[in-house]
Structure 1
Amino acid sequence: MRMIDLTKEDLAQLQQVKPILERNIDYIIDHFYDSVLGVRKLEAIIKEHSSIERLKKTLRDHIIEIFDGNVNEEYIAKRLHIANIHKRVGLEPKWYLSAFQNLQNVFITVIHNEASNDQERVAFVQTVTKLLNLEQQLVLEEYEKENIREKELQYQTVKNELKQKIAEFSGELVDLSIDTNAAVEQLVASSNEVNDTFKRTAASAQESQEMAQDGREHLSDLTERINYIYKRSEAMELSVNELSSSSKQIQKIVAAVQEIADQTKILSLNATIEAARAGEHGRGFAIVAQEVSRLAEDTKSTVVLIGELTSKSGLLSQQVVEEIRKVQELTKSGKHKSMETSRLFSEIVEAMQSSTQEIVTVEEEIRTLIQTIEGIGSTTAQSASSAVFFKSATENL
């Protein structure tokens, strides 16, 4: 009031202006609402919350009360109440100021028409504008306070909602972090078990590779031995064939000797006959003929026995040849089998070398995976710690 220089003299002067406004009150009110109803938004607010007739009566009482000149606590409380009503119905400050300016213009027009001289007009207009300015100050200040209060309520509501959401999110994040950390720890443990299994598998594969290599070397040695046996059996077959050929020659010789023995026996028989014919003179010759005959008989028996033995030897040689041929067939088949098995062993060794290398590669990849999982676990633990701190900070908002 001091800044706008609203003095007690001004309030007293309002008593002089009041009769002028009372005489023109209907004109003032009608002119005011004609301009207000020209704005659709203001018309909608009036129809929604009140009526024109009611508001006209309220404005009439309000104007007359203004010019009573009683600016006290009750006067101020009523203006603040009016401001709260305007705020509640959604009347924006710009519409309030516009409407008040319109009202002020009507006041000035009426005063200008009713005042007796220019000095009186100026004094009345200054007093009215000061009072209307005070009205605007009170209403706009209450508008501002109400806006601040609403913003604080809105801020507190948003803050509480945000706090609740953050708290819920933080709790879920903590639980999720704990579950994730536990899952990561389990995954690390499982990965370590898989890694140990791969290590054992790699060791077994290397041992199997070494055993396969040894087996291939033994098989190579066996193949050489089979080849040696095969060659020796061929030499043996040649020797047995030569023995069989010798047996046949012996049989021919035996046959010739047997024939000689038969002829010798015949000659001995003839000699004995001739000795008998000679009588006493042929006795000695007869004895010789007998010995020759006996020797021929013994020779024949021996030759027969040798023939039987050589015949049996020939049969046995033939059987030995057949068995040697069977052995040759078996060794030849064994040689092919041994070569095929050696080839398979070579392929097995190569496959196991490749498998062992792949296992080693997988082991390295698993080791890298374990390190990555452990890194994720560390990050998850940090996230859990951050979530706990975040939740604690939220509770302190």
Structure 2
Amino acid sequence: MKDNSTILIPAADADILHTLDGHDELNEQMRMIDLTEEDLRLLRLMKPVVEQEIDYITDQFYNTVLGVNKLEAIILEHSSIERLKKTLREHIIEIFDGNVNEEYIAKRLRIANIHKRIGLEPKWYLSAFQNLQNVFIAVIYNEAHRDVERVKLVRTVTKLLNLEQQLVLEAYEKENIREKEEQYLLVKNELKAKIAEFSGELIDLSIDTNAAVEQLVASSNEVNNTFQRTASSALETQGKAREGRGQLDSLSGQIDLIYNSTNAMEQSVNELSRSSRQIQKIVAAVQDIADQTKILSLNATIEAARAGEHGRGFSVVAQEVSRLAEDTKNTVIRIGELTLQSSSLTSQVVGEIHKVQELTESGKHQSLETSRLFSDIVDSMQSSTQRIVTVEEEIKVLIQTIEGIGSATAQTAASAGQFKAATDNL
């Protein structure tokens, strides 16, 4: 570094703004930073000094940059230190050519695209340019001895570095916008495809669901009809059970009458048995009388034989009495036999009546038990009928709910179709 040199700055005639044809927005930017033709002349005046100090400038720049591990890794991955130093020397000297033209702008934009491609973030680019600006200021303060010259040179260098940063950052921004648009388009197309696929599946699912709901409604209606028929049959069965219980009650009454009748019959048969026993006693008495009469008739016959001719008439009477006694005896024996037979039959009738009474008593108990069972059946049928009616009402509510689901599914399918159509138009 040569401390004894100086930069002679001529007086400016007028501050004429630098402009480029066809770059209205860039001209506005240069107007805002007040970049004039005088600034470009000052850059050209500084060029020899910069060329003399170029190695110092590049070394100072990269000493700072290589102190950041991340930046060093980027450099070593995509290039080499010496190669980048050579490029930076050329770049800096071009700045001090003072030619801000189409080529100058295009080259800065290419540099920005290279920085973006290798992954250099804007913050590191700005930090590096600030470092470069500091080095330039140090050189200026060493070369210019008057404060007025120093200020003017620093201002000019700052304007050019600011313009270069604007160009590079704008290129960064445009590239970011382009990448975001590409990413957005990629995501949009992918999302569109996914939504279209999802909408198609949703439509198919809605159609299948709607068909299943319709089938479920039909099945539910069939089940409802079956429940209605079952309820009707249950009511009819309940009526028949009540009728059967009434008939059993009537049968129980008739069995009671039969039981009472058998009791009366048993009493009558017992009376008949007692009469038979009385008849048997009478028959025995008559038989004794007949035996005695026969003895008397025999005695009369004996006495008539003794009387001879006078007792002949009496003998005839005695024979008739004997014959009558014999007939009486035979009749009494026959009556006795019939009485015994009647008594035997009466005993058998009494035995059968007892059996009938036992069967009647058993039938009465069975009739009462059956009547009780029929009462339980009627109560159970009534409870079942009430439950069937309740289930029938619940099934009606279920059918209405299913129909509502079917309507919602159809609406979902329509919405999915509209959604798919809207997706196709994206």
TM normalised by structure 2 equals 0.87
Partner of 1:310: 339
Cα shift at 1:243? 0.7
Measure the CA separation in 2 of the matches of 1:92 and 1:132. Answer: 18
Cα shift at 1:306? 1.8
Cα shift at 1:174? 1.7
Partner of 2:7: none
The reply to whether residue 362 of structure 1 matches residue 391 of structure 2 is yes
Partner residue of 2:106 out of 54, 77, 94? 77
The reply to whether residue 186 of structure 1 matches residue 212 of structure 2 is no
Measure the CA separation in 2 of the matches of 1:118 and 1:258. Answer: 189
Measure the CA separation in 1 of the matches of 2:114 and 2:174. Answer: 14
Partner of 2:328: 299
Partner residue of 1:335 out of 347, 357, 364? 364
Do the aligned partners of residues 35 and 312 (structure 1) sit closer, same or farther apart at CA in structure 2, a change above 3 Å counting?
Answer: same
- AA at the equivalent of 2:106: A
- AA at the equivalent of 1:112: Y
Partner of 2:51: 22
Cα shift at 1:57? 0.3
Measure the CA separation in 2 of the matches of 1:69 and 1:158. Answer: 45
Post-superposition Cα deviations, 1:43-83, rounded to whole Å, max 9, x if no partner, equal 22212211110111001111112222222211111111011
Do the aligned partners of residues 116 and 314 (structure 1) sit closer, same or farther apart at CA in structure 2, a change above 3 Å counting?
Answer: closer
Measure the CA separation in 2 of the matches of 1:10 and 1:55. Answer: 28
- Counterparts of 1:123-202 in structure 2, within 5 Å, are 123-202=152-231
Indicate the structure with greater helix content: 1
Partner residue of 1:103 out of 132, 135, 144? 132
Cα shift at 1:116? 6.2
Greater relative contact order: 1 or 2 (C-alpha under 8 angstroms, separation 6 or more)? 1
Cα shift at 1:105? 2.4
Q: Secondary structure at the match of 1:70?
A: coil
Partner of 1:287: 316
Measure the CA separation in 2 of the matches of 1:118 and 1:294. Answer: 199
- AA at the equivalent of 2:357: Q
Measure the CA separation in 1 of the matches of 2:72 and 2:143. Answer: 31
Partner of 1:319: 348
Partner of 2:115: 86
Measure the CA separation in 1 of the matches of 2:292 and 2:251. Answer: 60
- AA at the equivalent of 2:48: P
Cα shift at 1:119? 4.8
Cα shift at 1:89? 1.5
Partner residue of 2:300 out of 253, 268, 271? 271
Cα shift at 1:123? 4.1
- Counterparts of 1:13-52 in structure 2, within 5 Å, are 13-52=42-81
Aligned length: 397
Measure the CA separation in 1 of the matches of 2:153 and 2:281. Answer: 180
- AA at the equivalent of 2:82: E
Moved more, 268-277 or 16-25: 268-277
- AA at the equivalent of 2:58: I
Cα shift at 1:120? 4.2
Can you give the 5+ residue segments of structure 1 that lack an aligned partner in the other structure?
A: none
Cα shift at 1:118? 4.7
Post-superposition Cα deviations, 1:92-137, rounded to whole Å, max 9, x if no partner, equal 2222222222222222322332236555444433333332222122
The reply to whether residue 383 of structure 1 matches residue 412 of structure 2 is yes
Post-superposition Cα deviations, 1:244-287, rounded to whole Å, max 9, x if no partner, equal 11111111111211221222222223323333433443343333
- AA at the equivalent of 1:162: L
Post-superposition Cα deviations, 1:152-180, rounded to whole Å, max 9, x if no partner, equal 11221222222222222222222222222
TM normalised by structure 1 equals 0.93
Q: Secondary structure at the match of 2:32?
A: coil
Alpha-carbon RMSD: 2.0
- AA at the equivalent of 2:187: V
Partner of 1:60: 89
- AA at the equivalent of 1:312: Q
Cα shift at 1:391? 1.5
Moved more, 369-378 or 85-94: 369-378
- AA at the equivalent of 2:36: T
Measure the CA separation in 1 of the matches of 2:183 and 2:314. Answer: 168
Partner residue of 2:289 out of 260, 265, 286? 260
The reply to whether residue 392 of structure 1 matches residue 406 of structure 2 is no
Measure the CA separation in 2 of the matches of 1:122 and 1:245. Answer: 166
Partner residue of 1:241 out of 252, 265, 270? 270
Measure the CA separation in 2 of the matches of 1:212 and 1:119. Answer: 126
Q: Which runs of 4+ in 1 moved over 4 A?
A: 116-120
Measure the CA separation in 1 of the matches of 2:342 and 2:125. Answer: 148
- AA at the equivalent of 2:76: K
- AA at the equivalent of 1:213: R
Measure the CA separation in 1 of the matches of 2:151 and 2:295. Answer: 200
Cα shift at 1:396? 1.3
Post-superposition Cα deviations, 1:290-314, rounded to whole Å, max 9, x if no partner, equal 3323332332232222222222211
- AA at the equivalent of 1:206: L
Measure the CA separation in 1 of the matches of 2:321 and 2:339. Answer: 26
Q: Secondary structure at the match of 2:208?
A: helix
